[in-house]
A and B are shown apart, each in its own frame.
Chain A
């Protein structure tokens, strides 16, 4: 996984581009989860339309599944975690962790 970090930005970007009109931005950070295990945290900003209750579960499942498969997260020591917000929520919160691709 560490060896793949150099192209992680590109892979995440490519995954985001696979969902036009659905994904606005995908950020991530690498650290440890609450149990102390290596983890990668994905923060996905969805369009407001894609965040509607009737389509949210389908969209989060597709985006999370794509990241899991394309980044070969099943073959990684890092446990992936996925969090989703709507664009209007992020515009209101202006949470810097959700603004861009980051490695911390």
Chain B
């Protein structure tokens, strides 16, 4: 997950601009970068489970839709998400935290990238970065579990049809 980890490192660096740096620009890029770090972590984890060629895997990675990933993550965070197993697999708190962080970071990323009226503070930005870092830690605890795989499947193709 080199690119995801690298993006997280960059997001951390951007939370603390020097006095001579354009602060708001750094803060906005930190938030956007933190979101994309988590986005790429999940996309690459999902694509790794695909047995096709590297080219096909790249193609798969390009099919992920941000709004669909939000919708699935919202369902996970509220407890309404259903995977494919019968009986349904319990959702561990780590997965719920990842889903909540994804939703919060996506909205913050929209604000950071498009709402130029908003002024960010260092604490706001550091809090968003810590959300992403915690999501990485929680994901590593559950990666490979069946429920995590089913979440990745939902991110890829959308919520299960009831």
Contacts and interface: CB of A to CB of B under 8 A. Distances in A.
B74 A60 contact: no
A46 B122 CA distance: 13
B141 interface: no
Given A57-B133, A74-B78, A79-B103, A34 B123 contact: no
A57 B101 CA distance: 12
A14 interface: no
Residue among A39, A83, A90 with max Cβ neighbours from chain B (10 Å)? A83
Contacts of B70: 35
B9 interface: no
B144 interface: no
How extensive is the interface on chain A, given as a class?
Answer: 20 to 34
A75 B78 CA distance: 7
Interface residues of B, number: 25
Nearest to B115: A34
B79 A74 contact: yes
A95 interface: yes
Contacts of B24: none
A84 B119 contact: no
A86 B123 contact: yes
A11 interface: no
B118 to A, nearest CB: 9
A33 B73 CA distance: 15
Given A35-B70, A56-B130, A81-B104, A74 B124 contact: no
Interface in A23-55: 33-35, 39, 46, 51, 53
Interface in B105-133: 107-108, 110-111, 114, 119, 121-124, 126-127, 130-131, 133
Q: Would you list the 3 A-B pairs with minimal beta carbon distance, nearest first?
A: A34-B110, A57-B130, A89-B121
30 contacts: A34-B111, A34-B114, A35-B67, A46-B123, A51-B123, A56-B126, A56-B127, A56-B130, A57-B127, A57-B131, A57-B134, A60-B127, A60-B131, A68-B100, A74-B77, A75-B78, A79-B107, A81-B104, A82-B104, A83-B108, A83-B127, A84-B123, A85-B121, A85-B124, A86-B121, A89-B123, A90-B121, A93-B119, A93-B121, A95-B119
